[in-house]
Structures are given as structure tokens and as C-alpha cells.
Amino acid sequence: MAEEVAVARDHWRTPSVCAIADFPFDYTLNNPDTLTKYKTAAQISHKILEAVSGWCVEGANILSLCQKGDKLLGEEVAKVYKGKKISKGISHPTTVSPSSHITPYTPLSTDAEEGATVLKANEPVKIQLGAQIDGLGTIVCDTIIVKSDKDKDAEVSGREADLILATYYASELLLRLMIPPGLLASGSEEEKKAAAAEKRPTQAKITQMLETVVKSYECNISEGTTSWLFERNEIEGKKKIVLCPSDKEGRSEGVPEVGDVWGVEMGVTLGSGKTKTTDQRPTLHRRTTITYQLKRPSSRQILSEIVKKFGNFPFSLRQLDDERAAKVGVVECVRSNVLRQYEVVTDKDSAPVARFLTTIALTRNGLIRLAAPPPIDVSRYKTDKKITDEQILKILEQPTARSTGAKGKNKKKKKKPAKKAADDDEESSSEEE
């Protein structure tokens, strides 16, 4: 009896367990720790993106690039939040998608033909990857033009230059259209209220403006390009923005608001914009919220490994312990909708495609680029085409965040997006955070 009383007394004196259960951790942006975790994950994503981009030269093996990228991601994630009882890992495996591929591409070593795929000179390659800390994931995708080792810093011209510039400016425009009306307004209180009361552009208007940008470079938006709301342990939340949707993607749902974290995607092609699903094996999967009693022991074993290693984040079959067993085990998981497989989608015309994906946070001070492709040097891209629409040029010149003054002395010079690359002689300072 005395022991029971002692246990009860000790339990009463340590209310922390009850407090944790009764008051869940705040994972919104109202908690500074949440933003810190996002930024830590983003720093890792940026570091690995830079490394993989540097390896992408003519003749490089795609499978090897993906494997090396994931190895680095794992090593860098292991260095942060040591000793903390939180989940951390890869929010998106390293994928390297060749010229006409739209969706992230990650071949398997057990598929000999695809595993031998190498990069070709002058093709646009999409590199996508990401890290997560405590279920707060950041994902980034950049597009580079493959060069040989000796020509890595050479200028880009012709249709490749058109494609990169179209994607870059369309992405910059979409990021600015994500900002709620009036959030960065200045002036009197009445002027701020009037700005906040302005109607958001409709989905049709957003698509029209983005099409104006890409068509200035004789390009098109890739069908079904989708931006998603990010949540804890979820990269496809309740809101989405779908550009040029087909029947598969559905329509846009919800609008960006302060406190949101989004993965903002822009896909552009030199073709018609239409897509096609190939007969290549889907190697990228993600766990769903559906539960099902799997019948095969191999399927249950694979699912157990997936849950332990990746949670609800995407993964490649090559990341599992036994790649051959994984190829068999996922069949029942996909058929029962316990796993979602990402089909391999390419441009219908086999035309070159570029994609940018930026993870952003919307705060009271504007848009924070958590994980973003590095700013491009537009002077390296030579073309005779340019954007002429005055409304769009005006939006592109707008800041994405309110200046806090903290970094005012170290502002970097950045060329005005309103100018054509060849004629861009003036520079202006910009602060994006």
C-alpha cells in the first residue's frame, strides 16, 4: 500500500506528461520554433541542391546522382537536433529528371536500362529534393542546362534560354500573386484597408497572366502544374492551385493566407503544354492515410519499413533495404491504396521542360522563401524575346516582403526583371525576406 501511495505522489508531482498530452505542440508559424525548423530543413535542402547541381555535367549517371544526393541529405540531417526526440529525415528523395520529363525521376539499379541513363549536353535537367525536421518539410526544384565540365559557366542561348527565362519570370510572378491583397500596403490606415479589400485575382486571371509571360518567350505552361499547401507530415494539404488542369488534377481549392506554408511550382515547356503518362515503372511513392489489412507478408514488411523510414513523405523504391523485394511488395500496397504511386509523366511532344519549385511561408511581413532555386543571372541567357505587358512588369517589380531594416546594409544588387536580358544595364537592390 505504501508503494502505491508513493507512486501516486510522484506522479502527482510530475505534471509535465499530462501537460504535454493536454496541450499539443504549436506547429503553426505563430511559434518561432516552427519557422526555425523549416529554415533548418531548407538550409540542408539548399546545400544538397548546390552539390547535386555541380555534379550534373554531360555524361553523368542519373542513378548515381540520386544516390549521392540522398546520402548527403541523410548525413546533413543527422547533424542537426542531435539528442532531440523528434522525427527528421528526407522530405523528398533526390530526383534528376531529363529533358522532357515533367514529374520527378529516380531510376532503380535493378532496372538495367533506366539505371544506365546519363545526362546529355544542352538538355534542361530538373533537380528536386528536400529535408524535414519534426515533420516540417521543405522541397526545392531547380532546372539547369547540362554542360560539359569546361563549359559549365558558358552563356545559354536559343530555345534553352527562352525556356529558362520563361520559367523564371513566371515563377516570380506566381510567387507575388500568392501574397494576400494589401499585406504589404503602405500609406494611411484607410489606404491599407482599401488595399486589403481588393479582390484576389481569379484562377482564370492568374493563369492568363502566367500564360502571357511564358508566351512572350514562345513557351507554354505544362498541363496540371500544381502548387500545394504544406502541413506537418503532409506535402499535399487541403489547398492547391492547379494551372491548366486536366481531368486528373481537378480544380484549384482554397487561397493562400497568412500563416500558410506552400510548395509553389511552375512548369514550362517548349511544346504544346500537353502531357502523357509513360510506360516506365513508377519508382516514387508516398504513404496515404488509408488503412488496409494487407494479405501478403512481403507487403506488410515493406509497409512497416516505409512507415518507419519515411512516414508520409515521398520515397524512392531504391531507398528501401531490398530493392527487388520492394518492387514486389508495393504492388498490393498500391492496389489497396495504402500507397500512392507517382506515374512517370513527360511532355506529350517530347519537348524540353523546365520546373521550379519553391517552399514559401506567408507571414505578416510578407513572403519568406524557405527553400528556393538560386537566383539566376539573367545576363547569361541570351534571347531577343522579352515581356512587354505593363501590368505584369509592374507586378514583377514589387517586393515580396516588407523590409525590416535588419539587412539593409548588405543588400545585393539584382537586375530588374522588367528588362530583357540583353538590354538589362540597370541594377536595383532587392530584399526578398
Q: Quick one: pLDDT at residue 311?
A: 94
Q: How many CB atoms lie within 10 A of CB 98?
A: 19
pLDDT of residue 151: 78
Cell of 47: 546545400
CA quadruple 156, 160, 161, 163: dihedral positive or negative?
negative
pLDDT in tens, 79-98: 999 988 899 999 999 999 99
Predicted pLDDT of residue 19: 39
The answer to whether residues 179 and 195 touch, using CB atoms and an 8 Å cutoff, is: no
| pLDDT for res 1 | 43
pLDDT of residue 405: 62
Low pLDDT (below 50) residues in the chain = 1-22, 407-416, 418-433
pLDDT per residue over 273-299, tens digit each? 999 999 999 999 999 999 899 999 999
HEC-encoded secondary structure of the chain: CHHHHHHHHHHHHCCHHHHHHHCCCCCCCCCHHHHHHHHHHHHHHHHHHHHHHHHCECCCEHHHHHHHHHHHHHHHHHCCCCCCCCCEEEEEEEEEECCCECCCCCCCCCCHHHHCCECCCCCEEEEEEEEEECCEEEEEEEEEECECHHHCCCCEEHHHHHHHHHHHHHHHHHHHHCCCCCCCCCCCHHHHHHHHCCCCCCHHHHHHHHHHHHHCCCCEECCCEEEEEEECCECCCCCEEEECCCCCCCCCECCCCCCCEEEEEEEEECCCCCEEECCCCCCEEEECCCCCCCCCHHHHHHHHHHHHHHCCCCEEHHHCCCHHHHHHHHHHHHHCCCEEEECCEEECCCCCEEEEEEEEEEECCEEEEEECCCCCCHHHEECCCCCCCHHHHHHHCCCCECCCCCCHHHCEEEECCCCCHHHCCCEEEECCC
Dihedral sign from CA coordinates of 392, 396, 400, 406: negative
Task: Report CA-CA distances (Å) from 92 to 173, 311, 320, 355.
Answer: 25, 11, 14, 16
Instruction: Say how far apart CA 146 and CA 123 lie, in whole Å.
Output: 6
pTM, to two decimals: 0.87
Q: What is the pLDDT of residue 23?
A: 54
Task: Please give the Cα distance from 265 to 358 (Å, whole number).
Answer: 7
The Cα–Cα gap between 139 and 263 comes to 7
The C-alpha atoms of residue 395 and residue 329 are separated, in whole angstroms, by 50
- Give the model's pLDDT for residue 338: 96
